[in-house]
Amino acid sequence: MKKGAFTFLAAVISLAFSSRPASAIIITDSDFFSDKTHIVITFETDGLGNKLNIGWGQSQSMPSDEYAHYGFTFEPDISWVNDGGPAFDEAQAIGGSPEIGIPTGNEDDFIINMSFPTRAFGFWVINNPDPPYDEPYPYLTLEAYGDDGLVEEAIFEGDAIDGVIGSGAEYGFLGIASNQFITSIHVTKGATMLDNFTYSPIPEPATVILLGLGFLALLRKRHT
């Protein structure tokens, strides 16, 4: 067996069973993912890739398992939304996304369950810091959880905010990266829209090992 094959198998086994102390960082720039394998869900299409047609100021209910084959589900059901405000539309465009995001203003507490453990995730965020309600809405908070509980908490404030359009559309990127597997994300928010869900999923240990063994089998086949 060639040295490269041994190196690959050692790497996947090390990844699967790494016992390094838990550590995490808060991500405030989508460029974090530029040199990493990742998936981006823009929410402009449904789970089958069909273009969503949602008018300004309108929303559409989304089944919790709509994007299950991409590796995540919601708890409970939430909605796609086209906020309808020009400031929010402009802020979404800065993040490289058209008009549709998630969720509606009254869906302010939900969980994203990851089918494959994830090392890093983030959202393009548009937030109204002073919505016209009787009580101030809280800042967006993202809590990443793993098998041993809370991994890290990130709040949309400070360096996470890239700019403001008018007086009602703060925008920026917010996420969390960890050397431990992230299995779920708890989102609490106020007048906030999330877009461009970006994440780096990693297969479970057994799957990683099978991938490694499959790679070795492929090498043997090529050299017989």
Instruction: Go through 9-44 and write b for each residue having 16 or more CB atoms within 10 A of its CB, e for each that does not.
Output: beebeeebeeeeeeebebbbebebbeeeebbebbbb
Let me know: does 27 contact 198? Beta carbons within 8 Å: no
User: What pLDDT score does 220 carry?
Assistant: 53
User: What pLDDT score does 59 carry?
Assistant: 96
Per-residue pLDDT tens listing for the chain (224 residues): 444 444 434 444 444 444 455 689 999 999 999 999 999 999 999 999 999 999 999 999 999 999 999 999 999 999 999 987 899 999 999 999 889 999 998 899 999 999 988 999 999 999 988 766 555 556 899 999 999 999 999 999 999 999 999 877 999 999 999 999 999 999 999 889 999 999 998 754 444 444 444 444 444 544 55
Let me know: does 43 contact 197? Beta carbons within 8 Å: yes
Q: In the beta sheet, which residues pair with residue 175? A: 27, 122
DSSP secondary structure string for all residues of the chain? --HHHHHHHHHHHHHHH--PPP-EEEE--GGGGTTS--EEE-SSB-TTSPBP---TT-EEEE-TTTTGGGTEEEES-EEEEE---HHHHHHHHHTT--SEEB--TT--EEEEEEEEEEEEEEEEEEE-SS-SSSSPPPPPEEEEEETTEEEEEEES-GGGEEEEETTTEEEEEEEEEEEEEEEEEEEE-SSEEEEEEEEEE---HHHHHHHHHHHHHHHHHHT-
User: What pLDDT score does 79 carry?
Assistant: 98
C-alpha torsion 96→102→104→108, nearest 10: -120
Tokens of 149: 């509980």
Let me know: does 194 contact 111? Beta carbons within 8 Å: no
User: What pLDDT score does 152 carry?
Assistant: 97
User: What pLDDT score does 207 carry?
Assistant: 42
d(CA 192, CA 137): 9
